[in-house]
Structure 1
Amino acid sequence: MTPRALTIGPDQVGPGNPTYVIAEIGLNHNGEVDIARQLIEVAKSAGCQAVKFQKRTPEISTPESQRDQIRQTPWGEMTYFEYRKRIEFGHDEYAQIDAICKEHDITWFASPWDVPSVDFLEEFGVPTHKVASACLTDLELLERLAATGKPVILSTGMSTMEQIDAAVQVLGTDHLILLHATSTYPLPPEEANLRMITTLAERYDVPVGYSGHETGLQISLAAVAMGATVIERHITLDRAMWGSDQAASVEPGGLRHLVRDIRIIETAMGDGVKRIFPGEEKPMSRLRRFGL
């Protein structure tokens, strides 16, 4: 069977449609709306269909064991909990992001890390929700996401097949997109395991994509050739910027090349029907000595 395509904003996502390219801004805005704006503009100019953020309620999602750990930040020394509160966008910032994305005609959504964050995002009418790999085993969160009735994009890093089975059982398959991922930052090629794209597609019969954390573009492009219907990559203005995800992110020039090359690969894949193409006719008449 061929998995059904799902609608996310103005786009159809799934087999037979253009690869859905998500520019993951995540926390690479470093708590600054102006940086978020620049990243949205980078994603739009590169040809991405969507940008994605992360939404947390720090009081819920910050592990107790890490709250009081001291962290060096661009705003000085503070506890990890204070840092989480400092970098988190609230309603005013997301209202600005919503307006910026509408201005640039690009879809936005986020990964909610707790149930109140789902409710927060629902206020903005996001067309889909993304589940971070770290949240795949949070069944309460998955149940709340399933109740929205919207498409859910589920990353599968740091998970066993049994854990993925349990998550899929909660979410169902009617509105589900799976992303193969390995949650190593940055990702070494030997841990990419791209054949999991085929494994997930055959096991669950849903659209399957790839969320990459590698440096470079080759692995993401190979994922498209292997049938990934979604590509998600972290983006940054400069990989030398402060932040834990910056080094495994794609800079503006790389993002333009990634989208360009994805579209070339899509064109090159063809339909698998053997034919003589117009460009072959002159060489055939000049070089072939025998016909059938």
Structure 2
Amino acid sequence: MTNKTYIIAEAGVNHNGDIALAKQLVDAAVQAGADAVKFQTFKADLLVTKDTPKAGYQARNTGEDNGQYAMLKALELTEQQHVELHHYCQLQGIDFMSTPFDVKSMHFLLQFNMPFLKIPSGEVNNALLLWHAARTGLPIILSTGMATLADIEYALAVILYGRHNPKLPTGLTEIFKFRSTLLAQGVTLENIMLLHCTTQYPTPLSDVNLKAIPHLNSTFGLPVGYSDHSDSVLVPALAVANGAVCVEKHFTLSRSMKGPDHAASMEPDELKQMIKMIRETEVVQGRAIKFPQTYEFDTQQIARQRLVTRTPIKCGESFTCDNVTTARSPRGLSAIHYWDLINTHAERDYNEMDAICMIADQ
């Protein structure tokens, strides 16, 4: 990662299974200035059982509760549509990404040379998927919605195991024993980023918890990004101010469209505004050191207080609190030397409000 925040415009399933709509989402992401546009790759037959109900927000946003299977089946992209979308992203100059929800989908996506392999929050405990992801050697983004620190610890242990062991483990005991051996040898996780998020659509501002970003960074020693589900344009920029090196945000062409995620997604103009705010945040962050800008020195010359005479003073007379004051002046000693000057003697005659340029040797 560079100092530039990597911004992922999350199209997700907001294409509603329509390739033409998916391409319009790519166009919108490009126009907004995103670094990547991300979709979701899954097979409903592998992802859910047919009796799995919709999450509450999914039922509310679709206006029906016919179960996750039917909903997801209608939102699948075919393999050929993935190829077409990847090619379209290349033409438009934006990174193509897609989140795999099963091992088969993950291996299918490898042909596209994605910059990151994203593990969604719901798969943080999917040990087999985590192991296969680790074996690819690709940089991994691990989303942590719904996760405890222990959940993250387990997931990272599996990934570390997979990075360095081509054999499937026999269980968690072997995984953690292997991890202890690697850590003792100074081996640590590389090319992995955690993604803080709250899995609620939309997330109430009181539950966003941006302080978790530096907390995750200090706890695991890994770069941390932020996946935003709030309805605020400002929150992602605040996440960057709190140390997020990547921002992911769901977007749609219109929140009025029917589907599980449209209602909690940004529209194109909002996405563009969000990215502008993030880029401005990067600029204003500056460096972690206080120093005046070069142009401030010119202002300093006329804005700073200097030592001047309150009354006329003859050569040899003492400078006192009664005959010395401070004022803005283009010349003279800095007012910080006020007490150094008091009780010393004038080296020449001064008129009222003359600048005092030196302290005479006593």
Output the TM-score relative to the length of structure 2. Answer: 0.72
Corresponding residue number in structure 1 for 2:33: 47
Distance 1:258 1:59 in 2: 36
Which one has the largest radius of gyration?
2
Considering Cα pairs closer than 8 Å and 6+ residues apart, tell me whether 1 or 2 has the greater RCO.
1
Find the aligned partners of 1:79 and 1:159 in 2 and give their Cα distance.
24
How many Å apart are 1:164 and its aligned residue?
0.6
> What's 1:122 paired with?
110
Q: In 1, distance between residues paired with 2:120 and 2:102? A: 11
Q: Which string of whole-angstrom CA distances, capped at 9 and with x for unpartnered residues, describes residues 211-260 of structure 1?
A: 00000212111101011000000011111111111121111111111111
2 CA distance for matches of 1:72 and 1:289?
A: 64
Please report how far the alpha carbon of residue 136 of structure 1 lies from its aligned counterpart in structure 2 after TM superposition: 0.5
1:250 aligns with 2:266: yes
CA gap of 1:67–1:261, structure 2 versus 1, over 3 A, is closer
> Cα distance 1:241–1:281, how it changes in 2: closer, same or farther (>3 A)?
same
Q: Deviations over 1:256-277 (max 9, x none)?
A: 1111111111111111222221
Residue 202 to residue 38, structure 1, CA distance change in 2 (3 Å): same
- Aligned with 1:276 (options 260, 271, 292): 292
For 2:97 and 2:220, the matched residues in 1 are separated by 24
Report the count of equivalent residues: 276
Residues 222 and 100 (structure 1), Cα distance of their counterparts in 2 relative to 1, 3 Å cut: same
Shift of residue 121, structure 1, vs aligned partner: 0.9
- Percent sequence identity is 35
- In the alignment, which residue of structure 2 is the partner of 1:87? 75
Residue of structure 2 equivalent to 1:185? 201
Q: 1:176 aligns with which of 180, 185, 192?
A: 192
1:103 lines up with 2:119 in the alignment: no
After TM superposition, give the deviation of residue 92 of structure 1 in Å. 1.3
Deviation track 1:110-145 (CA, whole Å, cap 9, x = no partner) reads 111111111111233333211110110111110110
Q: How far is 1:20 from its partner?
A: 0.3
Q: Which runs of 5+ in 2 are unaligned?
A: 161-188, 307-333, 337-362
Following TM superposition, by how much is the alpha carbon of 1:81 offset from its aligned partner in structure 2, in angstroms? 2.5
Structure 1 residue 78: Cα displacement: 6.7
Q: Does 1:167 align with 2:183?
A: no
State whether structure 2 residue 150 is matched by structure 1 residue 134.
no
User: Contact 2:50/2:68 (CA < 8 Å) preserved in 1?
Assistant: no
Cα drift, residue 282 of structure 1: 3.9
Name the structure 1 match of 2:18: 32
- TM-score (ref. length: structure 1): 0.88
**1:4 counterpart residue number:** none
Given the superposition, is the C-alpha separation of residues 77 and 162 from structure 1 closer, same or farther in structure 2, using an over 3 Å criterion?
Answer: closer
In the other structure, the counterpart of 2:42 is: 56
Show structure 1 runs of 5+ residues with no match: 1-12
Change (3 A) 1:73 1:201: closer
Rounded to whole Å, the distance in 2 between the matches of 1:78 and 1:180 is: 30
Q: Output the aligned Cα RMSD.
A: 2.2
**Aligned partner of residue 154 in structure 1, secondary structure:** strand
Find the counterpart in structure 1 of residue 3 from structure 2: 17
Could you tell me how far 1:283 is from its partner in structure 2?
3.2
**3-state SS of paired residue (2:254):** coil
Preserved CA contact (<8 Å) 2:14 2:261? yes
Q: In structure 2, which of residues 267, 274, 277 is the aligned counterpart of residue 261 of structure 1?
A: 277
Which amino acid in the other structure matches residue 154 of structure 1?
A: L
Q: 1:17 to 1:93 in 2, by over 3 A?
A: same
2:305 partner SS = coil
Distance in 2 between the 1:80 and 1:212 partners? 23
